[in-house]
Amino acid sequence: SQQGEEDPQALSIQEGENATMNCSYKTSINNLQWYRQNSGRGLVHLILIRSNEREKHSGRLRVTLDTSKKSSSLLITASRAADTASYFCATKPRTGANNLFFGTGTRLTVIP
Amino acid sequence: KAGVTQTPRYLIKTRGQQVTLSCSPISGHRSVSWYQQTPGQGLQFLFEYFSETQRNKGNFPGRFSGRQFSNSRSEMNVSTLELGDSALYLCASSLGGELGTYEQYFGPGTRLTVT
């Protein structure tokens, strides 16, 4: 399967703490994207990082990509209760199937 | 700009019936993709339409089909519904180019329950 895997499956932290989620994948990629999903609703795009990039920032979000280890991490700094959601990574393979493969997701709970 | 809209939001059908779901992409977006989300299988790609043509297809049986109209609106049809088709169906639109090259914008989803 080309599906990625997020780690941990669930994460619970206090408001103000940082949250780190990891994503591992199996094939060479064109890019990797992170999405957020509030319970049972649509996904919201957070960041897209291309295979030739190592780090990207967007507000309180920081994404790193290590193509040699086929892994990425999403860091949310100074978390807020509103960050409570599921976070998914999605990879676009460099060759082969032309679609996005989503990971299994990390369920983040931020306790006020 | 209005976001991606999906109708209906909730649907209950019985086994053997068929269902049609609708998706209106963001204005100017030509690519529409459909995904199925279930607790067991996660998010799985169904197909993508671009300029009224199916451009990419996931690994789903032929009971799942779709189409795209000239205004980029898309419909997805599932025939002969099975209990396992109960899921959240998500539609996503993007500007175009090769699928996955740019970020996708998702609609709120249609929750389908098959009884």
CB of A48 less than 8 A from some CB of B: yes
- A71-76 and A61-66: which strand pairing? antiparallel
B56, B99, B109 ranked by CB distance to A42: nearest: B109
Res B55: pLDDT:
87
| pLDDT < 70 stretches in chain B | 1, 97-101
How far apart are the C-alpha atoms of A27 and B102, rounded to whole Å? 19
| Backbone φ, ψ for residue A45 (5° rounding) | -70, 135
Res A96: pLDDT:
66
Look at B4 and A42 and tell me if their CB atoms are within 8 Å: yes
A93-106 pLDDT per residue, tens: 887 666 788 988 99
B55, B90, B98 ranked by CB distance to A42: nearest: B90
Burial label, A82 (beta-carbon count in 10 A; 0-12, 13-18, 19+): exposed
How far apart are the C-alpha atoms of B55 and B50, rounded to whole Å? 6
| pLDDT < 50 stretches in chain A | none
How far apart are the C-alpha atoms of A48 and A35, rounded to whole Å? 9
Indicate the residue type of B65. S
SS3 at position A28: coil
HEC string of B93-111 equals EECCCCCCCCCCEECCCEE
Phi-psi region of B70 (alpha: psi -120 to 50; beta: other; left: phi over 0): alpha
CB of A61 less than 8 A from some CB of B: no
